[in-house]
């Protein structure tokens, strides 16, 4: 069963390469009409641990026109 991190900002995620939870670095992956897609990288080995769609005040107005933007990216690579 996939884990979901949509409700909070992850500061640590399990890294399969390090075989333990690691602090993550957040990286801007790409900019979407509804927000920004951020990627979580293991702070030690830079393996991609997951991604998250971030909607902020600046993009909320545009997102309201484009429809529900609350669908955060919950696909996590493991
Ligand atoms: Zn790692």
Quote the ligand 1 centre to 18 CA distance (angstroms): 4
Residue 24: Cβ-neighbour burial (10 angstroms; 0-12, 13-18, 19+): buried
Quote the ligand 1 centre to 66 CA distance (angstroms): 36
**Better-scored residue on pLDDT, 56 or 12:** 12
Is the whole-model pTM more than 0.75?
no
Which residues are in the CB-under-5-Å shell of ion ligand 1?
A: 15, 17-18, 22, 42, 44-45, 47
Using one digit for the tens of pLDDT, what is the confidence trace for 13-27? 999 999 999 999 999
**Better-scored residue on pLDDT, 70 or 21:** 21
Quote the ligand 1 centre to 4 CA distance (angstroms): 19
So what's the pLDDT on residue 17?
A: 97
**Better-scored residue on pLDDT, 5 or 41:** 41
So what's the pLDDT on residue 34?
A: 83
């Amino acid at each position: 069963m996939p884990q979901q991190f949509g409700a909070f900002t992850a500061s640590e995620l399990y890294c399969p390469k390090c075989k333990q939870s690691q602090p993550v670095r957040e990286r801007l992956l790409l900019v979407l009409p509804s927000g920004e897609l951020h990627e979580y990288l293991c702070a030690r080995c830079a393996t991609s641990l997951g991604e998250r769609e971030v909607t902020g005040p600046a993009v909320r107005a545009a997102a309201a026109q484009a429809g529900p933007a609350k669908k955060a990216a919950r696909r996590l690579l493991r």
